Amino acid sequence: MKALVSVKRVVDYNVRVQVKSDGSGVITEGVKHSMNPFDEIAMEEAVRLKEKGKLTEIVAITIGGAKNEETLRSALAFGADRAIHIKEEGDVQPLTAARAFAAALKKEGAQVFFAGKQAIDDDANQTGQMVAALLDIAQATFASKVELDGGKAVVTREVDAGLETLEVDLPAVITTDLRLNEPRYLKLPDIMKAKKKPIETVTFADLGVEKGAALTISKTSAPPKRSKGIMVKTVDELVSALKSKGLV
């Protein structure tokens, strides 16, 4: 059984992003990038399922410019068998990405599509659900536990009330949440081995996908800053400060 895992190159989670002064976006030049942390969890889960014999092949897939090859090499170092690079330099919004992933999923005949529940750049939390909708297959989002069993998956999901368990028929989309697993640290031999694994390059046209209508971003601005408050020295001072503001 084959799994397709989408991985996105994003500004590293430790970077404090700066908004450009002309409001045209955020500064990404000269800033550290890495694989979206939720996608690392998706990769890790696929690799563990393969190690358990539940999957036979893992294909990593990404959309973006030349630099995204780094992200695919990381995915291959995690343990993907091969990778697909959908080459596209421009802005790709979730529905467009989902159309391309859905086409690739069909072409590959993969039974599971793994993706992080959201990318930490646009924070959209849409693409996995859209892939499932376009193919009219099941989705299990925000997964914290995944069991594959024959033609089915049993997935525990993190929802607002607690933990929800779904049983879904395959093929299905599974998006991963923080506590599903702890991604492995990539070792040098695996990174070296990844350099020899194949990456296939395709375009939207190859997949028969049109980009379609998009949201227009007219402006990017910094959020209002919270002003630094007062440091109190004792609990008594804190209590009187809260009392004077009518908060307790």
Partner 1 sequence: MSKILVIGEISDGKLNSGTAKVVAAAAQIKGDITVALFGADVSAAAADAAKLDGVTKVLKIESAANANPLAAVYAPQIVELAAGYSHVLFPGTAFGKDTAPRVAARLGVQQVSDIMVAHSPTSFDRPTYAGNAIVTVEAPAAPAIVATVRLASFTAVGSSANAAIESASSSAALPSHTRFVKLEAQKSERPDLQAAARVVSGGRALGSSDAFKIIYSLADKMGAAVGASRAAVDSGYVPNDMQVGQTGKIIAPELYVAAGISGAIQHLAGIKDARTIVAINKDAEAPIFEVADFGLVADLFTAVPELEGKL
Q: Which residues make Cβ contacts (< 8 Å) with residue 142, sequence separation at least 6?
A: 117, 157, 158, 159, 175, 176, 177
Of 88, 154, 195, 200, which lies in the binding site for partner 1, with binding defined by CB under 8 A? 154
- The answer to whether residue 95 forms part of the interface with partner 1 (CB under 8 A) is yes
The DSSP line for 135-183 is: HT-EEEEEEEEEEEETTEEEEEEEETTEEEEEEEESSEEEEE-GGG--P
Q: 3-class SS at 189?
A: helix
- The answer to whether residue 100 forms part of the interface with partner 1 (CB under 8 A) is no
By beta-carbon proximity to partner 1, the closer residue of 192 and 242 is: 242
Using the CB atoms, write b or e for 15-31: b if 16+ within 10 Å.
Answer: eeeeeeeeeeeeeeeee
By beta-carbon proximity to partner 1, the closer residue of 57 and 93 is: 93
Give the footprint of partner 1 on residues 72-91 (CB under 8 A).
none
Of 2, 12, 17, 107, which lies in the binding site for partner 1, with binding defined by CB under 8 A? 17
C-alpha pair distances (Å), 142 with each of 15, 67, 102, 105, 139: 24, 28, 19, 20, 10
Q: Which helix (H) or strand (E) holds 127?
A: helix 127-135
- The answer to whether residue 31 forms part of the interface with partner 1 (CB under 8 A) is no
Of 4, 172, 180, 202, which lies in the binding site for partner 1, with binding defined by CB under 8 A? 172
Of 108, 164, 190, 206, which lies in the binding site for partner 1, with binding defined by CB under 8 A? 164
One character per residue 106-145, x = contact with partner 1 (rule: CB under 8 A): -----------xx-xxxxxxxxxxx-xxx-xxxxxxx-x-
Of 106, 179, 187, 193, which lies in the binding site for partner 1, with binding defined by CB under 8 A? 179
Q: Give residue 183's Cα distance to chain centre.
A: 13
Stretch that binds partner 1, among 66-74, 75-83, 200-208, 234-242 (CB under 8 A): 234-242
Whole-angstrom distance, CA of residue 218 vs CA of residue 230: 37
Instruction: Assess contact for 42 and 176: CB atoms under 8 A.
Output: yes
The footprint of partner 1 on this chain (CB under 8 A) covers a number of residues equal to 84
One character per residue 188-217, x = contact with partner 1 (rule: CB under 8 A): ------------------------xxxxxx
Of 66, 159, 191, 192, which lies in the binding site for partner 1, with binding defined by CB under 8 A? 159
Stretch that binds partner 1, among 8-16, 59-67, 103-111, 198-206 (CB under 8 A): 8-16
Q: Whole-number minimum distance, CB 25 to partner 1, in Å? A: 8
Q: For residue 141, count other CB atoms closer than 10 A to its CB.
A: 21
- The answer to whether residue 181 forms part of the interface with partner 1 (CB under 8 A) is no
